[in-house]
Amino acid sequence: MCKHYSIIFIESYCMTRSELILLIKKQSSGLDSKEVEIAIELFFNEIVAGLTSGSRVELRGFGSFSIKSRGPRIARNPRTGENVKIGSRLLPFFKAGKELNNLINS
């Protein structure tokens, strides 16, 4: 008997913005695509703008973004072994909210 194996690489799928617009348009009552598009654009822009200006973003049920500061450190270039100074940096962090955590664990 000949066993036939086929290897299929399933690329992880990711929602696009136009799909998001379509979904929301369907679920909302009577909004047109343009309005939904503007709202989503605004939604993301405000979050990014808020984070870049150092604000905390707290979306109940979804999660919160906060900015943490990483102190300066001396790193090493792995290839040359040279010491490189890295100044203090700001990094955004995300913590999932209760409802989102419950959703992915259900």
Given 42, 75, 76, 98, the residue binding other proteins (CB under 8 A): 42
Residues 33 and 20 sit within 8 Å (Cβ to Cβ): no
Choose the binding region for other proteins from 2-10, 17-25, 76-84 (rule: CB under 8 A). Answer: 17-25
Is residue 2 near other proteins by the rule CB under 8 A? no
Residues 101 and 64 sit within 8 Å (Cβ to Cβ): no
Given 14, 74, 82, 85, the residue binding other proteins (CB under 8 A): 14
Is residue 84 near other proteins by the rule CB under 8 A? no
DSSP character at residue 55: -
Is residue 17 near other proteins by the rule CB under 8 A? yes
Enter the tokens of residue 63. 């999660």
Given 18, 33, 73, 92, the residue binding other proteins (CB under 8 A): 92
Pick out residues in 44-73 that bind other proteins (CB under 8 A): 44, 46-48, 50-63, 67
Phi, psi of 66 (to 5 degrees): -135, 160
Residues 41 and 35 sit within 8 Å (Cβ to Cβ): no
